[in-house]
Amino acid sequence: MNDDEQTIVALATPVGESAIHLIRLSGKEAGRVVAACFCPLRPERWEQSGGFTLHLGRFHDGGTELDQVLVSKMPGPASFTGEDVYEINCHGGMLAVRRIIQACLRAGAVPAEPGEFTLRAFLHGKLDLVQAEAVNDLIRARTPAAADLALAQLRGGLSGAVRETRQEILDMLADIEAGIDFPEEETDPLARADLLYRLAATKGHAADLLTGSHTGRLIRDGLSTVIAGKPNVGKSSLLNALLREERAIVTDIPGTTRDELHEYVTVGGVLLHLVDTAGLRESDDPVEILGIERTWKVLNLADVVLLLLDARDVRRGELSAEEDAVLAEYGTKVVALLNKTDLLPADEEEEWDLPALARTGARIIPFSVKTGRGLDELGRELREQAPAAAGALAEEPRLANIRQINALERSLRALEKAEEAMLASAPLDLISIDIRAALEEISQITGDAAEEDLLTRIFSRFCLGK
Ligand SMILES: Nc1nc2c(ncn2[C@@H]2O[C@H](COP(=O)(O)OP(=O)(O)OP(=O)(O)O)[C@@H](O)[C@H]2O)c(=O)[nH]1
Ligand SMILES: [Mg+2]
């Protein structure tokens, strides 16, 4: 990221031709940079404006006119970044954009890094990390529910709840450290009982914040849904059918898919993060072996496994070792789709006696990608399993971002360790180590004590100009 003394400039709209483009500037020198290139149509209005006004004029570079533009003037500290911000609305050709940005660079601005405007807003206390990440989530939301959740986080209620818990930890730490300084309190049973009580309450608050986070993650990221099965059973065909496009290569040659494919789609109102995988079987092809290893890895991260079985194998009671292993390992997460029922002789159609399969806990749906049989039932099944991913519960703010959830889990674990140490009558200075760890972890969520590299990691995932 740039030095915060520098004034940054970037295109905030997508690269390409459009009706208008928006170029953004922020920093101490933003006013001077704009003044060097902008001739307002009504100079007296431009000069006298206290800000949050829009001005028509010509943009030029050393006397060469570049475009007719509208400039909005937003002086700090009330602006988005907290610095002086100017936004140039220009015509939507990329040549005009490039020339305007060049003029700004010549006048002393530097190119912004992705997310740098939001980083500056964070550094100036305009929003915390939960809110900053919510801005990014709002931009990237794939469903109305995900957008609602991001908006709820942006309003700050969630940050408030996290901060309250953080403050409780901070207060306990302060009291313990005071206790260490006054050793007579160290042995005071009342003081220890009080601390233990507070520790339990705080742990409960942290756990409450986590309870909603599973739902939050489903709303934000969708249900992680892995399509698995033996080669040629129809996995890629199913992916394509759900996406309604020929995304994956489908052939009748077993072992077609090697690398996993990731896509997002809504089925029965449920947002799925779909993964198509390499078919599971014994293989001596080194490329295929790598693909199969990856399949087992993504299976471990799945919320739901769509295990495609060939209906004819099921009918004969012939499941492969790999199919048995998936059922044994992920039974209750598995929806077994008995595919290619269209190939079964008509007289065998309706009789399914599947006690062995049912004992694994898997839901069973007779299916055919070819005819579309079972698709509606699959939608109903997913909705039942994941009402959250269907977006029914988005109005309440909750943690949804995996970075924030992991930090909260680490904080909770540290609190648990502190509680155990307390119950084992450990000395206060030992307990304070765990409580300090809990404090550091929870502080990462809102960024109350964020390290620079954490900030760089977070904000580099943002769009340029945001
Ligand atoms: N009759 C019938 N054929 C199907 C059905 N689903 C898929 N197929 C066919 O089965 C063959 C294999 O399909 P794929 O989708 O490539 O199978 P896959 O599981 O992705 O295979 P790998 O990538 O090799 O693991 C293709 O010829 C499909 O057209 C179905 O429901 N009925
Ligand atoms: Mg495939």
Ligand nearest to the CA of 256: 1
Strands 304-310 and 334-339: parallel
* List of residues 6+ apart from 35 with CB closer than 8 A: none
The per-residue pLDDT for 458 is: 74
Last residue of a domain, one of 84, 103, 128: 128
Which position has the token pair 């970037």?
A: 10
The per-residue pLDDT for 390 is: 58
Nearest C-alpha neighbor of 307 from the set 273, 333, 286 = 333
Does ligand 1 have an atom closer than 6 angstroms to the CB of 254?
Answer: yes
The per-residue pLDDT for 452 is: 72
Helices (H), 187-317: 189-221, 235-243, 286-300, 311-316
Strands 363-366 and 334-339: parallel
The per-residue pLDDT for 466 is: 82
The per-residue pLDDT for 173 is: 87
For residue 39, pLDDT over 90 is answered with: yes
Residue range 398-448, pLDDT digits in tens: 888 889 999 999 999 999 999 999 999 888 889 999 999 999 999 999 888
- Residue 209 CA, chain-centre distance (Å), reads 17
- Domain with residue 159: its CATH number is 1.20.120.430
Report yes or no on 196 lying in a domain. Answer: yes
Ligand 1 atom closest to Cα of residue 258: 23
Claim to verify: residue 65 and residue 162 sit in the same structural domain: no
CA distance 49 to 114: 30
Claim to verify: residue 428 and residue 405 sit in the same structural domain: yes
Does ligand 1 have an atom closer than 6 angstroms to the CB of 379?
Answer: no
Burial-class residue 11 by CB neighbours within 10 Å (0-12, 13-18, 19+).
buried
Last residue of a domain, one of 128, 162, 190: 128
**Range in 34-38, 231-235, 295-299, 392-396 with the lowest mean pLDDT:** 392-396
The per-residue pLDDT for 383 is: 83
The per-residue pLDDT for 351 is: 64
**Does this model's pTM top 0.85?**
no
For residue 143, pLDDT over 90 is answered with: no
The per-residue pLDDT for 358 is: 78
Report yes or no on 409 lying in a domain. Answer: yes
For residue 145, pLDDT over 70 is answered with: yes
For residue 74, pLDDT over 60 is answered with: yes
Confidence grade of residue 394 (pLDDT, cut at 50, 70, 90): low
The count of domains in the chain is 3
Does ligand 1 have an atom closer than 6 angstroms to the CB of 280?
Answer: no
Report yes or no on 463 lying in a domain. Answer: no
Claim to verify: residue 379 and residue 243 sit in the same structural domain: yes
Claim to verify: residue 26 and residue 64 sit in the same structural domain: yes
CA distance 352 to 367: 13
What is the share, in percent, of the chain residues with pLDDT greater than 70? 93
Report yes or no on 290 lying in a domain. Answer: yes
CA of 222 to the centre of ligand 1 (A): 25
Claim to verify: residue 227 and residue 376 sit in the same structural domain: yes
Ligand nearest to the CA of 250: 1
Report yes or no on 452 lying in a domain. Answer: no
CA distance 238 to 243: 9
**Which structural domain range is residue 166 located in?**
131-218+399-447
Residue range 271-304, pLDDT digits in tens: 899 999 999 998 889 999 999 999 999 999 899 9
For residue 117, pLDDT over 80 is answered with: yes
Does ligand 1 have an atom closer than 6 angstroms to the CB of 432?
Answer: no
The radius of gyration of the chain from alpha carbons, rounded to an integer in Å, stands at 29
Name the residue at shortest CA distance from atom 11 of ligand 1. 252
Cα dist. 41→54, 66, 200 in Å?
Answer: 11, 15, 65
- Residue 272 CA, chain-centre distance (Å), reads 14
Claim to verify: residue 165 and residue 137 sit in the same structural domain: yes
Does ligand 1 have an atom closer than 6 angstroms to the CB of 250?
Answer: yes
Report yes or no on 284 lying in a domain. Answer: yes
CA of 119 to the centre of ligand 1 (A): 48
Mean pLDDT value across residues 34-50: 95
Does ligand 1 have an atom closer than 6 angstroms to the CB of 375?
Answer: no
